[in-house]
Structure 1
Amino acid sequence: MPVAKVHARQVYDSRGNPTVEVDIVTEKGLHRAIVPSGASTGAAEACELRDGDKSKWGGKGVLKAVKNVNDTIGPELIKQDIDVKDQAKVDEFLIKLDGSKNKTNLGANAILGVSLAVAKAAAAEKGVPLYQHVSDLSGTKKPYVLPVPFMNVINGGSHAGGSLAFQEFMIVPCMASSFSEAMRQGSEVYQQLKSLAKKKYGQSAGNVGDEGGVAPDIATADEALSLITEAIEKAGYTGQIKIAMDVAASEFYKEDAKKYDLDFKNPDSDQSKWLTYEQLADQYKELISKYPIVSIEDPFGETDWDAWTHFYKNVDLQLVGLVA
């Protein structure tokens, strides 16, 4: 089943910033996708094409990317007459059409919007849910296993004010009997956490960061993890809910010094307190021994390979990172 029509528009994301929305029309109907966008990005990530006009949306408009979908990608995709179920062929076409090393010509946001909408169209053509189509593409063995939700409950780093360096603290309801049960447990813990944060740090501590987690004015990861642990206990889920972190360490990695500044939001940060990767790794290991942490994302700078190697050999938990 080929693509009959492609149309993109600029919409707003959860932070109130512009992003790309793409519609693809086939015989089965209209299939829509919206491109996500993060606050912190890695050096090796593909180019998110923004307009750069500071007089509108602070330069974050995506009208160029939208135009690339409507004027270039759409017409060419229709002309190619590719079956939407052949995701690899569609994506190869999109990459070749852009022709650059890092999606700088058409924009990764333009390309991704089309690719996502195509995947939805393919699922509709096959008459299956999107997750089943993605599973088919990846060759995942059956039966399906529902993912465990990682629920972002405390925001720090570039996602919030205050001095907390680590970007996200998440709860992991991995012992729940169903996905809906996991969501209920997470919701109950989150409400307990909000209440505790207000009681300990004042009413403003109930305010949320960029991604919905509370953002109390706390300075250390230990303080954040202690608060989460208490919320889990008060909700009645001790031993049933684990914890994950997305440190986003590249945000405070000083590459020239090869050190980590946990006070990076302070322009007068004391350089004598910057940490080597070994010292930061020791902090992680101490936190892991104290709290039920099962996953850490981006614990070190994305180019600090010695740190990753050192830490990987010394811990037994899920490590998440971007491989360039």
Structure 2
Amino acid sequence: MTGSLPKIRCLRARPILDSRGAWTVEASVELANGVTASASVPHGKSRGSREAAVINPHRAAALIEQRIAPALRGLSLDQGELDSILLRLDGTPSKRRLGGNTLLAVSLGFARAAARSQNVPLWRYFRSTARIQVPRGHFPTLLVNLINGGLHAGNNLEFQEYLVLIRQRTLAASVARAAELYNALRDFLVQTRGGTAALLGDEGGFAPQCKDFQEPFAIIQRVLRSHGWQRGIAFGLDAAASNISHSPRTMWRKYQTLIARFPLRYLEDPFGEEEFSWFARLREQVGSNVWIAGDDLTVTNVARMARAQEEGSVNAVIIKPNQVGTVTEALAAVKAARKWGWKVVVSHRSGETDDAAIADFAYGVGADGFKLGAPARGERTAKYNRLLAVATSSRG
């Protein structure tokens, strides 16, 4: 172990509420030099079955203070050493003893405290910890949730997220275009369908009733054309197909329809979480033009990702630290994806907090894309606003 970092003095934890009014856990890490930092953990409603286990947040808080804190108190650690201790304390591949949410609260809290102790922004801490080289001036394409369906909304849409991929000249310009488009879409929905069409889903996107699976993109396309905003914008879809009962062949036909009609450049979880071969068939046919991304398929788990690589299932991957449980494991997943030439898309969760560390993570690892919901609701705008701050600070 190295003495280059201050010692851990104590850990504290408490349950807090997330954006759905459900309990989650927040951990506070205090270092011996007086630096203190906290981190809270999001939750997903549409979860892959092989994600790290989530335990009751009240129990998680108790475990942090009663089991993890005594094991870490007085130690001087780097991120990898801390996370190794957390993994040994749990001792299971699924994190079922301590919970992936428990581990991530401590791992991420420590990362923030270490960054503050080193007097560097959190995004730079992630980048240097992972030893990732990112081209100067690089920033992620924004994957903006505009219309919600599936488990994230109470409407009749089966597909979970109708997205736009926004890439303008600068990160600030991308954020501005996201906000402009979101507000223009809301106005259009209210004017043409009434106020209920602008009710929100879990991730801040709108949740109108639609006549079929194509209509959300047709609505978005109409708004884009009316304002002349097509440049630098493409469409994306998170099907979350594990939650849909149609056969893979039926789903395949739907995607062919969408690709033929719209500028669809991103498809996430187009088939169920064990359908590696169907993913591969779709990637072989359209993968030169479309990011075929695994989420439930790959769950930020290097072993699952390796199988997807062997079978040629994807050319892009979702990275969600809470799927795997520690910062170190999430960074390892990013590095594996880079080794295989995949696009890296860092993502929030549907049940979020106002913790914006995921924005630092996305920027720090040089993600190709960042899924951050709609530019609405405090837990989502926290990520947008953090990106704006990062864009300013990184110019120095």
Please state which band the TM-score falls in when normalised by the shorter chain: 0.7 to 0.9
CA RMSD for the aligned pairs?
1.5
CA distance in 2, matches of 1:280, 1:115: 38
Cα distance in structure 2, aligned partners of 1:28 and 1:237 = 49
Matched with 1:197 is 189
Structure number with bigger Rg: 1
Report percent identity of matched pairs: 31
Contact 2:35–2:117 (CA<8 Å) still a contact in 1?
A: no
Q: Which aligned runs of 4 or more in structure 1 are off by greater than 6 angstroms? A: none
Structure 1 match to 2:143: 150
Q: CA deviation at 1:251?
A: 0.7
How far apart in 1 are the matches of 2:212 and 2:130?
39
Question: Which of 218, 224, 244 matches 2:216?
Answer: 224
Q: Describe how 1:42-81 pairs up with structure 2 within 5 A.
A: 42-50=48-56, 62-79=57-74, 81=75
CA contact (8 A) 1:165 1:219 kept: no
Determine if contact 1:189/1:232 at 8 Å carries over to the other structure.
Answer: yes
Q: 2:162 aligned to 157, 166, 169, which one?
A: 169
SS in 2 for 1:300: coil
Deviation at 1:278, TM superposition (A): 2.8
Query: SS in structure 2 opposite 1:231?
Result: helix
Matching of residue 9 in structure 1 with residue 14 in structure 2: yes
Which position in structure 1 is the counterpart of 2:330? none
Structure-to-structure mapping, 1:129-144, within 5 angstroms:
129-144=121-136
CA deviation profile, 1:223-264 (whole Å, cap 9, x unmatched): 0111111122233311321122111111114xxxxxx1xxxx
The answer as to whether partners of 1:249 and 1:299 remain within 8 angstroms in 2 is yes
For the residue of structure 2 that corresponds to 1:314, the secondary structure is helix
Number of the residue aligned with 1:82: 76
Matched, 1:33 2:39: yes
Deviation at 1:219, TM superposition (A): 4.3
Contact kept? 1:164, 1:217, Cα under 8 Å: yes
CA distance in 2, matches of 1:220, 1:135: 43
Q: Does the 8 A contact of 1:47 with 1:103 survive in 2?
A: yes
Letter in 2 for 1:70: E
Secondary structure at the residue paired with 2:142?
Answer: coil
Aligned partners of 1:142, 1:277: CA distance in 2, in Å? 37
Residue 123 of structure 1: how far off its partner (Å): 1.5
8 Å contact kept, 2:157–2:213: yes
Counterpart of 2:283 in structure 1 is: 312
Is 1:20 the counterpart of 2:13? The answer is no
Preserved CA contact (<8 Å) 2:9 2:73: yes
Alignment partner of 1:249 is 2:241:
yes
User: What is the aligned partner in structure 2 of residue 265 from structure 1?
Assistant: none
C-alpha displacement at 1:28, in angstroms? 5.1
* Cα distance in 2 for residues equivalent to 1:166 and 1:138: 34
Q: Distance in 2 between matches of 1:33 and 1:216?
A: 34
Cα distance in 2, alignment partners of residues 116 and 13 from structure 1: 17
Q: Is the 8 A contact 1:244 1:293 kept in 2?
A: yes
Q: Deviations over 1:35-91 (max 9, x none)?
A: 0111111110111102xxxxxxxxxxx211110111111121115x132xx212111
Q: Which amino acid aligns with 1:99?
A: G
Structure 1 residue 104 displacement after superposition: 1.2
CA distance in 2 between partners of 1:180 and 1:28 (Å): 34
Equivalent of 2:272 in 292, 301, 304: 301
2:14–2:27 CA contact under 8 A, matched in 1: yes
C-alpha distance after superposition, 1:269-309 (max 9, x if no partner):
xxxxxxx3233223212212221222111111001122112
Matches of 1:37 and 1:182 in 2, distance apart? 26
TM-score normalised according to structure 1 size: 0.85
Displacement of 1:162 in angstroms is 1.7
- SS of 1:150's equivalent in the other structure is strand
Q: 262, 277, 281: which one pairs with 1:291?
A: 262
Q: 1:236 to 1:304 in 2, by over 3 A?
A: same
For 1:167-190, what per-residue CA distance to the aligned partner results, in whole angstroms no more than 9, with x for missing partners?
A: 01112211x121111111011111
3-state SS in 2 of match to 1:221: coil
Equivalent in the alignment of 1:278: 249
How far apart are 1:34 and its partner, in Å? 0.8
| TM-score computed with the length of structure 2 as normaliser | 0.70
- Paired AA for residue 288 in structure 1: I
In 2, distance between residues paired with 1:90 and 1:243? 40
Residue 320 of structure 2 corresponds to none
